[in-house]
Structure 1
Amino acid sequence: MAAENTIFQKVISLCSRHSYIFKAQQRCASGLYELGPLGMELKHNICTEWWYSMVTSQGNVYGVECPSINRELQHRHFTKTTGNATNDANTEHENESCRQEEDDHLYSVPSSVFRTSLYQGTLLQYLHIKDLANKQLPFGTAQKGTCFRHRREQGADRFIFDTQEFTQLSVQYYCFPNTAAQQLDSWQRQRLDWWRKFAENPSNFTATDIQTKDQVQTLDIQYKFPWGPDTIERIYNRGQLPMDELLRWMNEGEVDCKRRVDAAGIDQGSAKDGGKKDLVDMLKARHGRKQTLPHTIEMTTCVESGMLAYLLDGFSEKQDVAQSTQKSPPKGPLQVMTFHSKLAPIKVAIVIKGSAARALQEISQYLQGEFRKSNMNVIEMDRTLTLQQMYRRADAMGVLFTIFVHEDTVKDGTIGIRSLGEAIVQGQHITQVKEFVLRHINHE
């Protein structure tokens, strides 16, 4: 455990030195973190791969976006503190005026009006998604958004694992009741395979057994953190409970639901008799020829927890071979951050070596442009650094390939290319280097 905690501290230090993640600098920002360029790229790449896996490649899952402010809680706080309220008896002008006052009042509301999960906003989109899916089960709704923890767990600092402001990724998947258990099992396998796909040490990602509480089945996908296995994604079989909850919101005239009910031509005033049946029928979807209230499988993950898992998973230390052959004072082992090629923040770093500065700079700019056309993030290394310093910097940043542009490049088009963590520099012709890098990235 002591060794794992030492590695944890080394990862935190590396993240701060190389613009991954560091504590927020503002006052009263305890428990908050800022992302530097590399951290932002890593987060973006994780979210992109998640979206492709959960939405783009599925065919029956649709993305939505909802406000991060819970308007119902905001309205209640506004009414309590000002004595003003909007109701059906008010004129449209009075309602609009009152809503504007609520918006102006927003900056004084407590943090409790900010959402803690994407659950409610995603569920409120159900009717729209059902129509888009031609009312045919199964189908799903996906959302990515900022959420807030009102209290951070006491105890040891766990870096970004439980930061107060976080990005949640969520899918609600609606299915025929008889297939819910099968869907839970299928999604568990898919999600665990997804996490392991991008890992250096896949065995550190595991799934728990199913637990049942209050009619809801849950299982967790966990990573082996320094403090022990902890959850990076939770999968629920919520059964019919979300549909029951959505029906209750409709019957109670919740603001967000009222607009959807009105659009469907349902009279809420008659909900106590025939209107209630209309609302139930409105929620039903088809499975073959049958009409039913679907059961819901939900998957939620905190991106920051996943980022920390991959940072710890990819960190290693190696003997610095170049250092052992030099007389300079030892600088410790070589720290290497190894990411899957799809997640790596920087794919290519270019180093200019030689006196033909102008010609080499033009070649560097050409290569950078070619890599960026293929959606690869590329940087140019500081030429004032020694070769050893460049290696250490590139490896700590997780750069997949370091390309050396030198005087021979001008003469015969030869460049040098070094892979992450390797001491050997291979020769390659400049016309083949882009294909070489792309082949490696697409192969993984």
Structure 2
Amino acid sequence: MAAATSEPELMQKIVSLCKRRGFVFQSSEIYGGLRSAYDYGPMGVELKRNLMSEWWTAMVHSREDIYGLDASIIMHPEVWRSSGHLANFTDPLVDCLVCQERFRADKAPRMAAGADAPIELADKGRAKAALAKLTEEGHVLERKGKILRGAKAGDRGYVCPNCGSPLLSPERDFNGMFRTNLGAVDPLAGVIAAVEAGVARGDDQKALRAAVDAVIAESAVYLRPETAQGMFVQFLNVQQSMSAKVPFGIAQMGKSFRNEVTVEHFIFRSCEFEQMEMEYFVEPGKGREALEYWKNERMKWWRSIGLSADKLSFREHDPSELAHYSDGTFDIEYEFPWGWDELEGVASRTNYDLSAHAAGSGKKLVYHDPEAQDPNTGKKGWRYTPHVVEPAAGATRGVLAVLCNAYAEEPADASGKGARTVLRLHPRLAPIKCAILPLVRKDGMDETARKVADEFFTAGVNAKLDMQHAIGRRYARHDEIGTPYCLTIDGQTAEDETVTIRYRDDRRQERIKIAAAVDVVRAALREGRE
């Protein structure tokens, strides 16, 4: 992965702005917070909602061949057995024996076997303690400051991502799905009884685990790790209720949950996140054509909401990294402050999912085209299992990409004035579209500002009447929030019924009529003008 060109502290600045301006807070902060859990504040919830609304408009409201769905988060457990998640949704988990970091082996830094592997601890004190422990265990190392030298990379070919140590625990499988129980009876009593019976029989650990799993499985359900499966199991209902003809798609937005081994980069990778996914069903043999179409359509969409073209790229998966269901996948990657990383995946899933659920449920999940010729019989009327192309975007990752792309710092002018931090959000994504600012709270300016604000509310434009602090501080506040337009009511307003409109990106100002203010802003929003 290429190194990021952005300054190293950019993420810290964005995290700080997010808290200061009400975009994202650490969840349960007054209790010390919960790792990988975040709450979206007043500005963040609007930004995320606007992003997802733009996606829904592009994928559902602007097309005649895609239908919406809102499937349950908790589904029948056999859904996950048929989809392969119960068997395959696992990661190789490893513990570092030096710093105790827990990580995924497949995501760890690579290093050739036998290469020198210096171990870097957080400070000298921790390095001393680690050396003493490792020496007792028979390792021969030497310390220089906070770095331990003398270790060699092992045959596994990777080291700890936190300290660089090759001294690691054995790999073990870690299931990424959150399991819970559905029903009025707590399974704990059954687990205790099963363990007591197993101990009385003299069962070994493996037999005891199997007995416990059998009890838990009676009421076990899972929080969905993706929204896709709800669309597959409702394929037939959507197709028949809407009289949909292939090709057609089913789109869904919503929360998914993955018990991630490694959570990182603020909201980029967390255990609870939101997705924007669509399953597009096509004839067999047309998957590659649809894959090409949708990867290009999705790239155009990310650019249309303001992400810079030079910070977006395609990465095609090598055959060795393809998911078990895919015969071709492209990632749309964005250059985050830490480097290029996945923003959306566009995958050809073949007919794997519908076939798997047909086998698991005993129901025929097929499409009948009475006008098409069956390639096997040559006769009119073709009944087949559609293939699927899936554009799957992360809404929370999208929010982070938008914030990173929009964040800018402008230096002061020659007089030392004018320095500012600004979020150049696309106007349709901005949490607040227009701020109404009376210059002072007297001479009728505040009453006029209230009337202007009410006109925006009536028109359905999210505006903010802001009377706190001096006008310069209010401009600065709305620059950091990303508000694209500010309307200032001043002494001239009472004379000629005009207001000053200030444009966020270049701070340009002009006078417009109060009566035209709503229309001016709405027109700019429709056109996406900053």
CA-CA distance at 1:291 after TM superposition: 2.5
Q: 1:39-64, CA deviations, whole angstroms, 9 ceiling, x for partnerless residues?
A: 01100001101001111112121111
User: Are the aligned partners of 2:366 and 2:383 in contact in 1 as well (CA < 8 Å)?
Assistant: no
186-195 vs 293-302, greater mean Cα deviation = 293-302
Letter in 1 for 2:367: K
Q: 1:297-318, CA deviations, whole angstroms, 9 ceiling, x for partnerless residues?
A: 1121221100000000001111
In structure 2, what is the equivalent of residue 403 of structure 1? Answer: 487
198-207 vs 30-39, greater mean Cα deviation = 198-207
TM-score (norm 1): 0.79
In structure 1, what is the equivalent of residue 431 of structure 2? Answer: 345
User: Are the aligned partners of 2:437 and 2:471 in contact in 1 as well (CA < 8 Å)?
Assistant: no
Q: 1:262-291, CA deviations, whole angstroms, 9 ceiling, x for partnerless residues?
A: xxxxxxxxxxxxxxxxx44x5223274232
Aligned equivalents of 2:342, 2:68: Cα separation in 1? 24
Q: 1:333-363, CA deviations, whole angstroms, 9 ceiling, x for partnerless residues?
A: 3101001111111111111124645x32332
CA-CA distance at 1:323 after TM superposition: 7.4
Letter in 2 for 1:147: S
In structure 2, what is the equivalent of residue 221 of structure 1? Answer: 332
Letter in 2 for 1:17: R
How is 1:414-425 mapped onto 2 (pairs within 5 angstroms)?
Answer: 414-425=498-509
Letter in 1 for 2:19: S
In structure 2, what is the equivalent of residue 314 of structure 1? Answer: 406
Q: Return 5+ residue gaps in structure 1 as ranges.
A: 85-105, 252-278, 326-331
How is 1:149-160 mapped onto 2 (pairs within 5 angstroms)?
Answer: 149-153=258-262, 157-160=264-267
In structure 2, what is the equivalent of residue 284 of structure 1? Answer: 367
User: Which of 455, 458, 467 lines up with 1:382 in the alignment?
Assistant: 467
Q: 1:123-172, CA deviations, whole angstroms, 9 ceiling, x for partnerless residues?
A: 11111111034252111111111111212416xx4000012111111111
CA-CA distance at 1:242 after TM superposition: 1.2
In structure 2, what is the equivalent of residue 22 of structure 1? Answer: 25
1:126 aligns with 2:223: no
Greater fraction of residues in helix: 1
Aligned equivalents of 1:323, 1:48: Cα separation in 2? 43
CA-CA distance at 1:382 after TM superposition: 3.2
User: Are the aligned partners of 2:450 and 2:465 in contact in 1 as well (CA < 8 Å)?
Assistant: no
In structure 1, what is the equivalent of residue 126 of structure 2? Answer: none
Change in CA separation of 1:323 and 1:362 when aligned onto 2, cut-off 3 Å: farther
Aligned equivalents of 2:318, 2:508: Cα separation in 1? 50
Q: Return 5+ residue gaps in structure 2 as ranges.
A: 78-178, 192-215, 373-381
Change in CA separation of 1:3 and 1:186 when aligned onto 2, cut-off 3 Å: closer
Change in CA separation of 1:343 and 1:228 when aligned onto 2, cut-off 3 Å: same
Number of aligned positions between the proteins: 382
User: Are the aligned partners of 1:60 and 1:133 in contact in 2 as well (CA < 8 Å)?
Assistant: no
How is 1:265-280 mapped onto 2 (pairs within 5 angstroms)?
Answer: 279-280=363-364
How is 1:143-182 mapped onto 2 (pairs within 5 angstroms)?
Answer: 143-153=252-262, 157-182=264-289
In structure 2, what is the equivalent of residue 302 of structure 1? Answer: 394
411-420 vs 284-293, greater mean Cα deviation = 284-293
Letter in 2 for 1:222: E
Letter in 2 for 1:381: D
Q: Find the structure with the greater CA-based Rg.
A: 2
* Matched position secondary structure for 1:4: coil
Aligned equivalents of 2:484, 2:509: Cα separation in 1? 13
In structure 2, what is the equivalent of residue 274 of structure 1? Answer: none
TM-score (norm 2): 0.67
User: Are the aligned partners of 1:323 and 1:388 in contact in 2 as well (CA < 8 Å)?
Assistant: no
Aligned equivalents of 2:58, 2:299: Cα separation in 1? 12
Change in CA separation of 1:430 and 1:287 when aligned onto 2, cut-off 3 Å: farther
Identity between Structure 1 and Structure 2 (%): 26
Letter in 1 for 2:334: Y
Aligned equivalents of 1:55, 1:3: Cα separation in 2? 35
* Matched position secondary structure for 2:502: strand
User: Are the aligned partners of 2:44 and 2:431 in contact in 1 as well (CA < 8 Å)?
Assistant: yes
In structure 2, what is the equivalent of residue 103 of structure 1? Answer: none
Letter in 2 for 1:363: T
432-441 vs 395-404, greater mean Cα deviation = 432-441
* Matched position secondary structure for 1:145: strand
Letter in 2 for 1:284: Y
How is 1:365-376 mapped onto 2 (pairs within 5 angstroms)?
Answer: 365-376=450-461
User: Are the aligned partners of 1:352 and 1:360 in contact in 2 as well (CA < 8 Å)?
Assistant: yes
Q: CA RMSD in A?
A: 2.6
